[in-house]
Structure 1
């Protein structure tokens, strides 16, 4: 076998590319290769016990499934010590799709459950480097994305949202749009928020405060680097809690793409658009005919409507019922899609209502460089 063929047969997971030969990511292999740990039922139970909150469905269903040093964070929390959360978004499009919302929905749960502060990084500098966008456009997209993030319900008294070009670039390092691009080295910029000293207005004199980073597992390489470097420069290693990927409508073998609006459900979509996209594009694990489907049932491993319900349908009993009926051929693809359309339409309409309430002044309030006196309250 040629070397190229061997490489092609391997799954590739980096911050820039996610692909698998058969279109299905082998998460066990990935955890093994990256060297992180699986989240087991004992950890989920422990989080519920420590926070006195029911575990989020993303935890119950193994969507956030892997971690690095999560138990260390829980040990410290149990002993009365604090930590902070850090997550982020690369603002390359006007509107977020549902996949973009996953880390923010989960981070909001963590903020509410543990009552801890949160920093959210908008990497407008990265988008200036990798996309054909002006500085002004990158800054505008960052503010628009911030409104969608704020609409997830974060607590302004515990949350600092910042853009790299404002807080890191122009603000501290004095980088201008005319400067040579070599001045901007991106991975360390993404690593820096893992260290409390990056936020002197929030954590003065608390350089050993621990950080927990909720993210998709393709971001792991950034933070492996960060964790290697941290002890050498006198900081604690950040902990990670990592999610599976959210598939494109056409299935796991394709990528959600801003250039293909039919690959994803966007938070700006109308209920009519959601219905059309799910019915036409959501990859089905059902059989080719009703007769065959009644006989053989659906393949849930590849069925996108089931995967989406796994993310967004809150009721565990209803989800289990749908899976059982569909797998055994008693429920048809059209019925599963109908339920998904209802769930997604409600979720997106709720988000749109919340987004409409977010003003420019609210964005300014979340982005103001200020102390947060009640952040651990």
Structure 2
């Protein structure tokens, strides 16, 4: 966007403006197209002539764009009556359908990838080009994905709330993409989760926001200058964002006090225990195992089982960790990497080197593959020496 336009301000208005258009009777897909045209017009006009009421300006311009398109549509006669209902210029209505949009964009009829794309476009206000760059796909491919998603949800009404858990899973998918192209998806996920938290009072929304903040706080220390991964135990903790950690812990404590424990609150509690330790050696692994036990009761997730095996290995020794690992399916992603780490802790460098190499061959992420390959090479050097 133009340097003369406050991009964050425009994007924060996107969901409420879109909600107003839909509530007035616009089809979701047509309303979203009209809003995108209004945003383009805002970038062109606002630097020289900023509106007194930005939200009202966007509503007015987008509604006119929608009416223009409706009149030209094949269903023109049915929609033309809407022209008589155009409201006079003035402040935008106070009603905010942001929460409904979150639910709509995470509708169960959508695939996870479509839900993510539609959330970033309709709620986040990102352009199709930005989303395509972030996910490393051609813009035409992303445009088709978004168009299909809009068609899928166009008949869904704003008359009841959807599933909060589904919305949170979509936002967590966005967060885990990190940074790519010119969009910081982790920061965008945090912004959208903050916005969601302001629209709904739910401890799991707070739990997810706390988890994101606590993970994001370690971001600067997570990679070396050459781009290689730095494991948590080896990170320079002075590079962690103490402000984000303090905010995350505060939000988490308030959520936990409500005694409605959920998956994201429990994950955030684990992250908070890591953040609270001045050094890796001072990590409270016993408490972390207890939180992983809670998580297994909540989710029965094999990934949580893997993480718990690592924590058990730290709390009770590597052999206890290997025993916990043996109870899991050895075809799980990262199983070999966890086994390698625990065997190394137990002093079996030969098995550890072999397993690190196996894990590297299975890794899909290039940085993770390089890290595991270096671990295997390091142990081979030790064994030869």
* TM-score normalized by the length of structure 1: 0.24
Higher strand share: 1
* TM-score normalized by the length of structure 2: 0.23
User: Which gives a bigger RCO, structure 1 or 2 (Cα 8 Å, sep 6+)?
Assistant: 1
Higher helix share: 2
